[in-house]
A and B are shown apart, each in its own frame.
Chain A
Amino acid sequence: MTPLLRIQQLTYNPPKRWEYFSPRSDFVLGPVDLHVNESETLAIIGSNDSGKSLLAKLIVGAVKPSSGEIILNGQPIGTHQSKARANNIRMVFRHSAESLNPGISVGSMLDEPLRLNTQLSPAMRLEKVMQTLSLVGLMPDYYYFYKHMLSDGQQQRVALARALILDPQVIVADEPFAALDPSVRSQTVNLLLKLQAELGLAFIFISHNLGIVRHMADRTIVMSGGQIVESNLTQTLFTAPQHPSAQKLIYAHNSMLKF
C-alpha cells in the first residue's frame, strides 16, 4: 500500500543570515524520512529545540526545506508551496487562540480559504462553512461571532474548522492540547477521534502530553537534535524505548505515573 503522505530525505539548513540572530546556527534538521497512512495518527515527541515545530512547518510548507521530497498520494508535490499541498495538508497552529484574527467574524475566517482556493459560488461557500461548523460541533450562530466571544475550547474548534474547510487529507497540529483545560482537552481529543473515524483523516501532531500521545497516536516518532532518533508503534515505544533520549522522556513520564 502506498502511504497517503511520504516524506523522503527532507533536510533543512538555516540560511547564512540566520547566524547573526541564532545562538545555535549549527542547527540542521534531517535528513528525515516518515510516512502516514489514511486514518492514521502519528505523534512527534522530543525535548525542546529538537526540531519538532520546524519539521511540522516543513511538512505543511510554511518553511521551505533545503532538500528532500514530499509525496502525497504517490505524487511528488514539490517542496515549494503548491495548491495540492495547500488544500490537502493543513496546519492547526500551536496557540490557535493567537492565530485567529480578532477583527473578522468566524464566518469570514472560514470563508477566506474557500475564496482563495476554490471556485465555489458564494452560496456554496456559505453552505460549506455551515457544514464545517456543525462538523466541529459549533452552532450556526457562530458564523457571526468574533474571537473575543469564544471560549478556549470554541477557539480551538474554529481553528480546526478552518483547517478542515478545504477537505484536507492530512492535518498537522503543533501542541493542539497545551493551552486547553482538562475537560475541553478531552472534548477536543474526542472530536479529533470522531473526525478521523468519519473522514479518514491522517493526523500528525506534536505534544508534550505523553498521556494523550499514548492514547491517540498509532505510531510515534521521537526527535532529538534535528533527527528522528526512534520511530515505532506507540504501544511498543512506550513499553520499550530504545534510544537514550526516547528512554529519558518516557521514563520521566512513567516516573510521574508511579505514585
Chain B
Amino acid sequence: MIILDIKNLTLEIESNGVLIKALDKVSLTIQENEIRALVGESGSGKSLIVRAISGALPPQWIVTADRLTWRGQNLIKMTRAQRQAIMRRDIAVIFQDPMAALDPSAKLKDQMLESVPREFIEGRYAWQRYASRLSISHKILHKVGIQHVEECINKYPHEVSADICQKFMIAMALVSQPTLLIADDPTRGMETNTKKQILALFTRLNKTRNLSILFVSHDLLAISAMAHSMTVLYCGQTVESGKMKAMRRRPLHPYTKALMDSAPSFSPDLKPKSMLVALDGTIPTLQHLPIGCRLGPRCPRAAKECVQMPTERSINQHTYRCHYPMHVEPV
C-alpha cells in the first residue's frame, strides 16, 4: 500500500519579478515497508521536497500538486493541527546537518528527554515520569549505537563528535516510533564503520518494525546497500524512478547513468587511475535554469526536442522523463 503519494509537486518562488520553479512536477511514492532513496546533487531540491512533506516551507513559496497525500489524506488541504499531529506521530524527519538542528545551549540529555512522546511515559509522579523518560531515552540511544550513553548524554552538542550528534538526532527521530522516517543525508561525511552501523540499524528497523524510510542522499554506495527503490532528482525535476536493481543494471536516463558512473566501486572492471566518465559542467543555479529538460546543456544525448519538457513514461514500474532514453528503442 502507498503511504506517501506525491504527484506533480511544483514549488515556485518569485525572484526579481519572475516565478522560478525550484521543483518542477516532482513525483514520488513510498510504499508501506519500503526503503526508498531520493538521490540528487546539492541544490537539486531534495531538502525542499522534505520540507514540502513536513510542511516546513516559508509562506512565500507557492505549492501546487496533483497529489500530496499521507495515507490518502490530503496534506495541503488539512489544518495545521492535523498536519502537526501526523508529523509528531507518523512521520519523523532527521534534517541535514545535525549540528545546526540541535540546540547548542541545551544538554543532549534535555533535548533527548524532550522528544519522548507523552503517551509513552509511565508513572504518576514527576519523579516516576522522569525516570520513565530517562529509561526510554537510554534504550533508544543504545539501540542507535551510542557507547557510553551515561557520559555523552550529559554533554552539550559541541562537546561530542559529529557522528554522535547524528546518532542523537536519529534517536530523537525514532523515539516516537514513526511509520515513516525521512532522513536527509544522514551519512554525510561519516567514516565507513559508522556508516555501516547506521545503515544496519535502518535496515533492522525496516525489517523488524516495518519502518518505511525515505533516504535522502547522494552516497550511492550507502543507497545501493540499503534501498529497495530509488528516485533520481536533477535540478528540481524527477528524472527517473524504479527498483534499485533495475536502475543499477539498466539506467534509462542519461543523468542516472552519470550518477552510477561516478561511483568507481560500481565498475569492477574499471582500470585503476583511468579517467572516470563524467558530465561536463555543473548543476545550474535557479536563476539560470534551462528550458525543457534541465539536463539539456550537459547531456551527451541532447537534441532539438529536449527544449520541450519530456513527458513521464513507464516500462514495468520503471518511470523516466527523457526524449532519448538509453536501452529503449526509439518509437
Contact = CB atoms under 8 A, between A and B. Distances in A.
Q: Do A and B belong to a common assembly?
A: yes
B85 to A, nearest CB: 36
Interface in A194-220: 194, 208, 210-212, 214-216, 218
A253 interface: yes
A258 B274 CA distance: 23
A101 interface: no
A258 B272 CA distance: 20
Interface in A220-259: 234-235, 248-249, 252-253, 255-259
18 contacts: A48-B163, A48-B191, A151-B282, A154-B282, A175-B189, A181-B218, A183-B258, A186-B261, A186-B278, A187-B280, A193-B273, A208-B190, A211-B263, A211-B266, A215-B273, A235-B272, A253-B221, A257-B221
B161 A48 contact: yes
Given A181-B42, A215-B264, A215-B270, A186 B276 contact: yes
B220 A182 contact: yes
Given A215-B272, A215-B273, A257 B265 contact: yes
Nearest to A185: B262
B275 interface: yes
A248 B193 contact: yes
Contacts of B244: 259
Nearest to A187: B278
B226 to A, nearest CB: 8
B275 A193 contact: yes
B270 A256 contact: no
Given A48-B163, A181-B42, A256-B196, A186 B262 contact: yes
Contacts of A53: none
Contacts of A258: 225
Given A181-B283, A183-B41, A190 B192 contact: no
B191 A211 contact: no
B191 A47 contact: yes
Nearest to A94: B189
Contacts of B272: 214-216, 234-235
A153 interface: yes
B240 to A, nearest CB: 15
Given A47-B191, A249-B192, A256-B222, A189 B265 contact: no
Contact of A183 (B196, B266, B275, B282): B282
A208 B193 CA distance: 10
The 9 nearest A-B residue pairs measured at CB: A211-B265, A186-B278, A181-B41, A182-B262, A256-B225, A215-B264, A252-B196, A186-B276, A186-B262
Given A182-B218, A208-B190, A211-B264, 13 more contacts: A47-B193, A182-B262, A183-B278, A183-B279, A186-B278, A193-B274, A193-B275, A214-B272, A215-B264, A215-B270, A249-B192, A257-B225, A259-B226
A111 interface: no
A230 to B, nearest CB: 15
Interface in B101-131: none
Nearest to A23: B159
B259 interface: yes
A27 B327 CA distance: 55
Interface string B9-44: 000000000000000000000000000000001100
Interface residues of A, number: 40
B47 interface: no
Contact of B41 (A47, A182, A194): A182
A186 B261 CA distance: 9
B140 interface: no
Contacts of B218: 181-182
A152 interface: yes
Contacts of A187: 278, 280
A47 B196 CA distance: 12
Contacts of A214: 264-265, 272
A153 B283 CA distance: 10
A146 to B, nearest CB: 16
B155 to A, nearest CB: 10
Contacts of B258: 182-183
Interface in B269-320: 270, 272-280, 282-283
Given A252-B192, A256-B221, A259-B225, A190 B275 contact: yes
B192 A253 contact: yes
B148 to A, nearest CB: 11
Given A187-B278, A190-B278, A211 B193 contact: no
Interface string B204-220: 00000000000000101
B191 A190 contact: no
B42 to A, nearest CB: 6
Given A189-B276, A190-B278, A193-B273, A182 B192 contact: no
B97 to A, nearest CB: 12
A184 interface: yes
